[in-house]
Structure 1
Amino acid sequence: MTPLHEGWTLRAVPGPQVPAGIADRTVPATVPGCVHTDLLAAGLIPDPYLDDNELALAWIGRTDWVYRTTFVHEPGDDERVDLVCAGLDTVATVTLNGVEVGRAANMHRGYRFDVRSLLRDGDNDLVVAFDSAYRYAEAQRDRLGDRPNAYPEPFNFIRKMACNFGWDWGPTLVTAGIWQDIGLHAWSTARLATVRPLVTLDGRDGRVELHVEVERVAAVPLTVRATVAGVHAEVVVPAGERTAVLTVTVREPALWWPRGYGEQTRHPLEMTLYAPDGDALDTWSRRIGFRSVRLDTTEDEHGTPFALSVNDVPVFVRGVNWIPDDVFPTRITRDRLAQRFEQAAGANINLLRVWGGGRYESDDFYDLADERGLLVQQDFLFACAAYPEEEPLRTEVEAEAREQVTRLAGHPSLVLWTGNNENIWGWHDWDWQEPLAGRTWGRGYYLDVLPRIVGALDPTRPYWPGSPWSGSEAIHPNDPAHGTTHIWDVWNTDDYTRYREYVPRFVAEFGYQAPPAYATVRRSIPDDPLAHDSPGMAHHQKAADGDVKLQRGLDAHLPPPADFDDWHYLTQLNQARAIQLGVEHFRSHRDVCAGTIVWQLNDCWPVTSWSAVDGDGRRKPLWYALRNAYADRLLTVQPRDGGLALVAVNETAQAWTGPATITRLALTGEPRAKTSVDLDVPAYSSVVLALPTELAGPDEVRAELLVAEAGDTAERALWFFAEDRDVDWPAAAWDATVEPVDGGQRVRVTARTVLRDLTLFPDRLDPAAQVDRALVTLLPGESAVFTVRAPGPLDPGALTSRPVLRCVNDLT
C-alpha cells in the first residue's frame, strides 16, 4: 500500500460554537491523528489534560471538521486501485477529486473504496469530512428512542470509543480524525482479502486451519501456498470462487505458554497468492503460537466455575483491567505499550482484560502480548448502557465484530471474547426495564449475534456473553457463585474488609481509588495551595462522591491526615491495602476462586482513579502491593472459622516445601508466642494451616502483630490485630544512609521503632525518579534498602525525611 499521510490540512466547518480565531484557520494536520492533537500542535487550544482545560474544549466534539490533502498519482496497469482507510473517527464522508466515494460511521472497522476511475494523472484532491459525533449520536437517539446509560452522554448510539464521552476516570474529549493508516492499494487479478488462522492442538501436534478469502477482478484459478514452521501446503481457488481452506499439521511443535508457565515460542506463518502463470499477487505473514485454551464452566458443589486452562494446565488468573492508555490513540506508541507491559509483568500480572468502553487494541498491543506471554481477554465494545439493536447500528456491530475477530484470531495471547461490560447486569439491577418499555437494549448482540460470529469465525477460543455473567439467564448475572462477578459495593458503599465476605468463582472487576503520583498532580494541576478539594484536584476526580468515599476509607483504618501531604500518602496507602487484602483473600480460596482481575492497571490522563499506574506512567503504591499479592508464591494470614490461619499459595510447577515460622510480637519487637510448621504445597495449589489460640489471640490488641515467614520467600506476611488508627504506635524513628550507585542512589533505612508501610516518594524531588520497592514494614533493629533511579543525584537529606520518606506512624 502507498501511504497517504503527508500534506494534510484541517479546518473547522464554521458554526456558532467555533471560537474566533479558529473558525477561519486552516492548520497542518498529522495523519494518523485527530483534531485535538492537531489544534494542540498549532497552539490553538490549551492542553486538555491540564487544570480544567477540558471544559473549554467541549465545542470540538460538536463541530464538523474537514481534512484535505493533495497527492500525485501516476496511473499504471493495475486493474484496481483502492483507497484503504484503516480507521476513520467516526462519521465521515470521503471525496476524491470532487466525487463522493464513500461514507463511514464506525470507528472500530476499516473501509476500502475502489477509486481507480476517479484518479487523475498528476495532482489529486482527497477530502475526508467528519460530521459531529454528537450530532449523529443524538439523531440516532431521537429516531430510535432513548436508552438508559450510566452517563448523560449518547455514546451508545454511535460505534465510537465510548470513553471519549467521559467516564468516572476519564475526560469528555470527543475526538474526530483519520486515526489509522490511509493509503492507496493498487492490484490486479486478485488479492488476499482476509486470512484467518485457527490454531489448535491435536494431541502433541499443532494444527493450523487457514481460512482464506480472496477478492478478484479476474475469473481465473488461483493458487494459495502456505508455510508454517517449515511445513508447506497449497490449495487451488477455482475460477469464480472466493474462499478456500488449507490445513497444515506441524509435528510436536514447541508450545506457546503464558508468562510463568513456559516459553512464548512463536512460529512463522507465510502465505502467498499466485496467478495462473505463477506470478505472486499478494502475501501475508504472521508469527503464531501453538496452544490450547479451555474454559471450565461445569457445575460443581460450589456453583458454576469460571476456570481457564492453557495447554491443559489450569491458570489462576492474576489480571488487571486495561483501558485506552491515552484519550488520543495515535499518541500510544509501541514503546509506550511495551513500558506498560513491563509494568504489568513486573507486578506478576498474567492477564489483561481489554475493557468494553475503549477499543479493540492495536496490532502492537497483541504482538507484545504474544511476545511477553500476557494473556488477553477482549471485550466487544459495549459498556454500561443499553444499546439499540436496530439499523444502522446492527449492521455496523456485525461488520466490526467480523473484522476484529478475523484480525485477532491468530494471536495466541487472546484467550477469551466477552460480549459486553456490565450491560446484562445493568438490565437486571440498574432500573432500566421500565424506561426501556420493551425496546431493544443489546441482549440480541450478547446472546445471539456475537456468539454466532465467534462460533463461525473463531471456535478455537471461548466466548462469554458479559462481564459479569453467571452462565445462564435463569441465574442473576452477578451471582458470585456462578461465572464471573464484579464487586463494587466495596468502594461505593462498603469498607474493603467486606471483600472477605465473598468467596466468588472469578472476580472480573474490583477496585479502590487513589490520587496519582505527586509529580503527576503537580504537572497537571496548578492549585496553590494544593488540597484534596482544591479546584484542579476536584476537576481531576470524576467519580461520584469520590472524595467522600476516599475519606470514608481513611476514617475506617488510618490516623487523620494533617495536611495534603498526609492525605496523599494515606489515600494511596489505603488503595494499596484494599486491593492487597482483596487479592490475598481471593487467592487464599483458590480451590473455589479461579482468578481476579483488578480494576485497573492504567489511566488515560492524570486523574484520581483506581489505577496502579497513573496517567503519566508512574507507579502508585498499589503497583507494589499487586507485585506482592500476585507473587508466584504467596504467604498470607487470613481469618478462618473464628480464628486465624496461615495460607500458602503456590502458582508454580514445583512443590513448595520448607519451614515457616509464625510469631506473635509486641510492637517493640518482643516475641510473645511462636510456632513453626513445615510447608508442603503441591504445584498449582494452596494449603491452609489453622493457627493455635496463643498466636491468634493477642494479650494487647493495640500493641501486637503476627509475623509469618517462610525460608525461601522474600516477603513476609503480617497481621495486625487493630486498625492503624487504633494502634498504640510509637513515634517513628529511624537512621538512614544514602550512597551513590550506578544510575541512582541506595537508601538504607534502619528502624529504631516499628515503621509501618515505609515508602519513598522520590518523584517529589525529581519527576523522573523511581524507586524499586514500597510499603515495607520494619520491626525495631531491622533495615530495608531502597534503590532510587534518577537522572541526577537527589539531596540525601530530602530523600530521607518527610514528605519523601513516609510511614504510617510518622503521623503520631
Structure 2
Amino acid sequence: MTFSQDLAGSWRLRGTGVDIAATVPGCVHTDLLADGRIPDPFLDDNEHAVAWVGRQDWTYERDVSWDGPSQERVDLVFEGLDTAARISLGDTVIGETRNMHRTHRFDVTSILAGRSGPPAPTGGRALKVHFTSAYTEAERVRDIVGPRPNAYPEPFPFIRKMACGFGWDWGPTLVTAGIWRPVRLEGWSTARIATVRPLCTYDGDAGTLDLTAGVERTRDSALRAQVLLDGRELAVLDLPASETSVRGEIKVPGVTPWNPIGHGEPALYMLTVMLTAVDGTVLDRWQQLTGFRTVHIDRSADDAGTRFVFHVNGEPVLVKGVNWIPDDIFPSRMTRERYELRLRQAAGAGVNLIRVWGGGIYEDRAFYEVCDELGLMVWQDFLFACACYPEEEPLRSEVLAEARDNVTRLSPHPSLVTWNGNNENLWLRGAHGWAGDPGGDLSWGAGYYLEDLPAIVAELDPTRPYQAGSPWSGSWEHEPNDPAHQTFHSWEVWNRQDYRHYRDSAPRFVAEFGWQAPPAWRTLRDAVSDEPMLPDSPGVLHHQKAEDGNGKLARGLAPHFPAPATTEAWHYLTQLNQVRAVRTGIEHWRSYWPHTGGTIVWQLNDLWPVTSWAAIDGAGRFKPLYFALREMYADRALTIAPRDGGLVVAVLNDHPSAWTGELRLEHRDINGAVLSSTTSPVIAEARSVALVQASATCPVAAGTQPAAPVRAANRDAALVVATLGEARAIWFAEDSGYADAGLTVTAESVPGGLDVRLHAAGPARDVLLQADRIHPDAVVDRGFLTLLPGESTVLHVRAPIELDPGSIKDPWVLTDLSTVLNP
C-alpha cells in the first residue's frame, strides 16, 4: 500500500543576508513577515518597500529521510513550486521546474537509500529548493522568444506563474517565490495510481461513468482496478502486465443527478478506485466525491445573433454569476475554512456560478469540493489574461503539460461546467492594436486557444463545453466582443460611460461588467495612515490601482449627485453608485432572459485592501453591493425600468413554479403620498419574465441623456412603487429634493450585539448602517434600504463583544441619502 510522509512544517529560508525559520507550505513574503524582516505590504505604500523580495533568489532547505516501511520506490512530490526552481537532494540535482501550476514528482529512491552521496549529520539528506527570481526567469525567456505586448508593464506572459502577482488594476505587485502547496515523500511497490479521470454524465434516468485510470509500475504484472460508488462495487477492470492505463464505461442506474443551486439537489457520491494485485493485495487507493450531470451551452444562431445559454441536465439555467480572483495575494495562506466561508457567502448572495479568472490560479481542491457541495457551478479559465502569450519553447511544452495536468485533476468535480481558453486576449489584440506593437507580429496565443486547448479538452474531458475565450463571438466572422454573439465584456460603461448606458443593449451573455467603490470604512482606515484621509490623499490613491480610477469614480457620480463635501460623503456616495450601477445592469439584462443568458459580475472578492469592483473587500467585509446582489439575484424579484418610451415593471421569476398574484402599482409624490394606485393580475411562468407597463410615456430615454431625470406619466409623481407579494421595486424620478425622512432610530442590546429599529415619517432613501464604524468586527445584515412613509424595519448588528446602544448615534454609523446631500 502507498505510504505518504508529509514534509510540511519547519524549513529554513536563505537569501542574501537572510537565514530564518520558514513554514511550508508558504512563500518568501509570509516567512519574512513572520520574522519581522519586512513591513506589512498592505499598509500605505509598503508594497514598494518590499519590491526587492521579488528580485532576489531564495533557497528553502531541510533534512529529509524516509521513515516509512521498505518500498521499491520512494518519490518526492511537490504539489506546487513557485516558480523557477532547482531541487537538490544531498549532492544530487534531481530536477528543475518552471511552472507554478503543476505537480512535480521525482524518484529519490537511490538517494534516500544511501546509494548517492554522504548523509546529512541528521542521518537524512539535505533537501534544497533554490528559487530563481521570477523576474530573472521571465526576462530570460523573453530574450529567447522576443517581446510581446500586454496590458501591464510586467513580464508575466513569459513565465507560468500567477499573473496578477505582478500587479493588476485591483492588485499590488508582490512577486512571490516558495513551496506554496503541500510537499511529501511517497513510497510504493509494484504499482501506484498515477491519475484517475472520472467523467460522469446523466441522461435523464441513469448515470454514466467513463473512467480512465493511469498507473505507474516498478514491475510488469497483471493488476486490477476495482471501482466502487458509495461502497458498492460497479466494476473490476483488468490491467494486463505492462499496461499503464485502463478505461471503462459503466452504466450507473438509480443515481440522483447533481444540480446547480435553485435547480435541485447537488447530489454527490463517493467514488473509490482500488488498485490491486491479482491475488487481491491492495496496492493503492484513490477516493473522491463526484456527481452525475450533463452540461451543454446552446450557441445556436437566431435572428438576433448567437445564443449563449447554459443547460444542465437538459434544463436552461439563468446564470447569476460572479468573477473570482485569488482570495489572497499570497495564495499559500488559503485554507479550506476560508474557501468555504467565501463560497458560502457567494451562495448566500444568490450566486449560482463562479468564474475562476485566467490571471489567477487553478484553485485548491478544497475550492471545487465546496462548490460541488453547494451546487455552485464553476467556469474555469485556462490561465491566460490580458496579454500576448508566446507559443514557442521553452513555454509551449509547459503550457500543454499544465493544461493536461489540470483538466485531469479537476475532472471529478461536477461543479465545473465549462473550460474557457483565456481572458480577453482574443479581443484585446485588436481592440488595443497590439498587432502593431513591438512583438505584435510574433505568435500571441491564438494557437493555444483555437487549436491546442480545445484538442486537450476534447481528448481528456469531452463532457464539458469549451469556449476559446471571454469575450468571444464564436469565430472571426464577428468582432470578438460583439454583444450580439455569445459572450460580452461591458467595459465602455464605467471606463467612459454612465451606468444608465447598460440599458442601451441586451447582449447574449455578459461575462464581465462592474463598477468600482472603496472598501468598507474600517478596511480603508486600517490600510491607510494618511491624516487627514482624503479621496486623493497618498495612501488612498496607492490603494486605487485602476488607471484614473478616482477620476472615473468622480465622473460616475457627477450625473447623479453633487460633488461630495467630505471623505465620508465620498465613501457613502461611491458605495451607493456601485450598487446602483450593478443593479441597473443585472436587472436590465435579467429582464431579457433567455435572450440574455446571464451575468457574471466583476468581481466577488479582493486579495488586499483596495478600491475595486468587489462585493467583498480585502479584509473580508461586505460592501453594500454584497447585500444588493442578494436582491438582484433572488429567484423572484421586481424591477422598474424605462423601455420603449415608457416605464415597465419586469417580473423576474427564476423559480421552478409560476409566480402569480396581484401586482400593485402606486404613483407617489415627493413626500411619499399616494397619487394613484392600481392592481392587476400577473403571471410569470416558471423560469421566465413577465413585463407590465407602469406608465405609458417616459419623456427621457435613460442612457441617451444620462444627466436628465426620467418621470412617469403622472407629471406630479416623484416615485413609482410596484409590489407583488413580498417583492417590491421603487423608481425614483430624481435623487434630490427629498425632505428629512424623519427617521426614528432606537437600538436595543441583545445577545451578540444590537437590534436597531428604524421608523420613517417620510421617504427614507438609501439608509445605510456601517457596522464596522461601531467595532472592527461588527457586522450588519443589510446594505442600502429604502423606507416609505410609515414603514419600519429592524437591522441586526452582531459583534464578538458587547456593544453600546448609543454608538448607533456616532457620526456616519447610520445615515441616508437626504442627510448626505443636505448636511
User: TM-score normalised to the size of structure 2?
Assistant: 0.95
> What SS does the corresponding residue of 2:124 show, helix, strand or coil?
strand
Contact 1:75–1:120 (CA<8 Å) still a contact in 2? Answer: no
CA displacement 1:182-236 (0-9 Å, x = unmatched): 1111111111110000111234111101101111111111111111242420111
- Residue 138 of structure 2 is matched in structure 1 by 137
Partners in 2 of 1:781 and 1:373 — Cα distance?
A: 40
- Could you tell which deviates more after superposition, 157-166 or 212-221? 212-221
Contact in 2 for aligned 1:703/1:729 (Cα 8 Å): no
Amino acid of the structure 2 residue aligned with 1:83: L
Amino acid at match of 1:171: P
SS at match of 2:451: helix
Residue 772 (structure 1) shift: 0.7
Give the Å deviation of 1:694: 8.1
The 3-state SS of whatever aligns with 1:556 is coil
Q: Are the equivalent residues in 1 in contact too, given 2:203–2:313 (CA < 8 A)?
A: no
The letter of the residue matching 2:808 is L
Q: Matches of 1:623 and 1:437 in 2, distance apart?
A: 40
SS in 1 for 2:196: strand
* Match in the other structure for 1:17: none
Q: 2:773 aligns with which of 758, 764, 768?
A: 764
Cα displacement (A) at 1:261? 1.2
Which letter does structure 2 place at the counterpart of 1:441? W
Pairwise CA distance, 1:697: 5.2
Q: State the distance in 2 between where 1:703 and 1:667 align.
A: 7
Q: How far did residue 700 of structure 1 move?
A: 8.0
1:422 maps to 424
The aligned counterpart of 1:20 is: none
Name the aligned partner's letter for residue 130 of structure 1.
Answer: F
User: 1:288 — aligned with what?
Assistant: 290
Task: Answer yes or no: is 1:220 the counterpart of 2:221.
Answer: yes
Distance 2:595 2:276 in 1: 54
Deviation for aligned residue 1:449: 0.5
Structure 1 CA distance for aligned equivalents of residues 202 and 628 of structure 2? 37
1:79 to 72, 76, 80: 72
Equivalent in 804, 807, 812 of residue 816 of structure 2: 807
Deviation (angstroms), 1:673? 2.0
CA drift at 1:246 = 2.1
Task: Answer whether contact 1:701 1:721 (CA < 8 A) is retained.
Answer: no
Structure 1 position 77, deviation (Å): 3.5
Contact 2:697-2:713 within 8 A present in 1 as well: no
Which whole-Å CA distance do the structure 2 matches of 1:590 and 1:654 have between them?
16
Aligned AA for 1:613? I
For the pair 1:406 / 2:408, whether they are aligned, the reply is yes
Aligned partner of 1:718 in structure 2 is: 730
Q: CA deviation at 1:442?
A: 0.2
**Matched residue type, 2:721:** V
CA distance, structure 2, for counterparts of residue 251 and residue 9 of structure 1: 53
Identify the residue that residue 41 of structure 1 maps to in structure 2.
34
Equivalent in the alignment of 2:237? 235
Deviation at 1:51, TM superposition (A): 1.1
Q: Secondary structure at the match of 2:94?
A: strand
Alignment-derived partner of residue 450 in structure 1: 453
Give how far 1:744 is off. 1.6
Bigger shift: 693-702 or 512-521?
693-702
1:100 counterpart residue number: 93
**Equivalent position SS for 1:514:** coil
Per the TM alignment, residue 334 of structure 1 is displaced from its structure 2 partner at its CA by 1.1
Q: 2:275 matched to which residue of 1? A: 273
Per-residue displacement from partner, 1:342-369 (whole Å, max 9, x unpaired)?
Answer: 2111110000000000000110000000
Partner of 2:745: 736
Q: Given residue 160 of structure 1, which amino acid in structure 2 is its aligned partner? A: K
Match of 1:143, SS state, is: helix
Alignment pair present for 1:305 and 2:319? no
Structure 1 pair 792/594, CA: closer, same or farther in 2 (3 Å)?
Answer: same
* Mapped partners of 1:671, 1:200: distance in 2: 55
> Any idea what the Cα deviations from partners look like across 1:743-784, whole Å, max 9, x if unmatched?
221111111222111010010110111111121111222112
Aligned residues: 797
How much has 1:276 moved relative to structure 2? Answer: 3.1
- Asked if the contact 1:231/1:250 (under 8 Å) is kept, the reply is no
Is 2:560 the partner of 1:560? no
Whole-angstrom distance in 1 between the partners of 2:357 and 2:82: 19
Conserved 8 A contact 1:307-1:315? yes
Distance 1:579 1:702, change over 3 A: farther
1:75, distance to aligned residue in structure 2 (A): 7.8
Give the alignment's Cα RMSD to 1 decimal. 1.5
Q: Tell me the CA shift for residue 472 of structure 1.
A: 1.0
Q: Distance in 1 between matches of 2:64 and 2:24?
A: 14
In structure 2, what is the equivalent of residue 393 of structure 1?
395
Which SS does the other structure have where 1:83 is aligned?
strand
In structure 2, distance between residues paired with 1:339 and 1:77? 42
The alpha-carbon deviation at position 520 of structure 1 amounts to 0.5
Structure 1 contact 762–769 (Cα < 8 Å) conserved: yes
- The code of the aligned residue for 1:167 comes to W
Question: How big is each residue's C-alpha offset from its partner over 1:496-545, in whole Å with a ceiling of 9 and x where there is no partner?
Answer: 00100120000000010000001111211111111111111010000000
Report Cα offsets for 1:552-602 as digits up to 9, x if no partner.
111111233211111111111100110011100000111310100000000
Cα deviation, residue 742, structure 1: 2.7
Matched, 1:111 2:109: no
Equivalent in 789, 809, 816 of residue 780 of structure 1? 789
How far apart, CA to CA, are the structure 2 residues paired with 1:302 and 1:194?
44
Counterpart CA distance in 2 for 1:629 and 1:199 is 33
Offset of 1:315 from its aligned partner?
A: 0.5
Residue 675 to residue 702, structure 1, CA distance change in 2 (3 Å): closer
1:74, distance to aligned residue in structure 2 (A): 4.8
Contact preservation (8 Å) 2:647, 2:697? no
- Structure 2: distance between partners of 1:585 and 1:262: 26
Distance 1:672 1:626, change over 3 A: same
User: Which residue is equivalent to 2:81?
Assistant: 88
1:18 maps to: none
Larger displacement relative to structure 2 (556-565 or 312-321): 556-565
Distance 1:28 1:669, change over 3 A: same
1:268-304 CA distances to partner (integer Å, 9 max, x unpaired)?
A: 1111111233211100011111111111001011110
- TM (norm. structure 1) is 0.96
Matches of 1:691 and 1:232, distance apart in 2: 59
Tell me the residue number matched to 2:349.
347
Query: Residue in 1 aligned with 2:538?
Result: 535
Question: Is 1:748 aligned to residue 757 of structure 2?
Answer: yes
Confirm or deny that 1:656 pairs with 2:659: yes
Is 1:31 the counterpart of 2:24 in the alignment? yes
Q: What does residue range 149-164 of structure 1 map to in structure 2 within 5 Å? A: 149-164=150-165
1:557 aligns to what SS in structure 2?
coil
Q: Give secondary structure in 1 for the equivalent of 2:198.
A: strand
Contact persistence 2:84–2:97 (CA under 8 A): yes
Per-residue CA deviation, residues 642-669 of structure 1 (Å, 9 max, x unaligned), is 1111110100101000111111101212
Deviates more, 1:80-89 or 1:746-755: 746-755
SS at match of 1:520: helix
Percent identity between the two aligned chains: 52
Find the counterpart in structure 2 of residue 486 from structure 1: 489
| Contact kept? 2:667, 2:717, Cα under 8 Å | no
- 1:328 maps to which of 312, 327, 330: 330
Cα 1:194–1:592 shift into 2, 3 Å: same
- Corresponding residue of 1:584: 587
Structure 1 CA distance, aligned partners of 2:712 and 2:10?
Answer: 74
Query: CA offset at residue 471 of structure 1?
Result: 0.8
- What is the CA-CA distance between 1:254 and the residue it aligns to? 1.2
Query: Structure 1 residues 730-739 or 590-599, which shifts more?
Result: 730-739
Contact 1:306 1:484 in 2 (8 A): yes
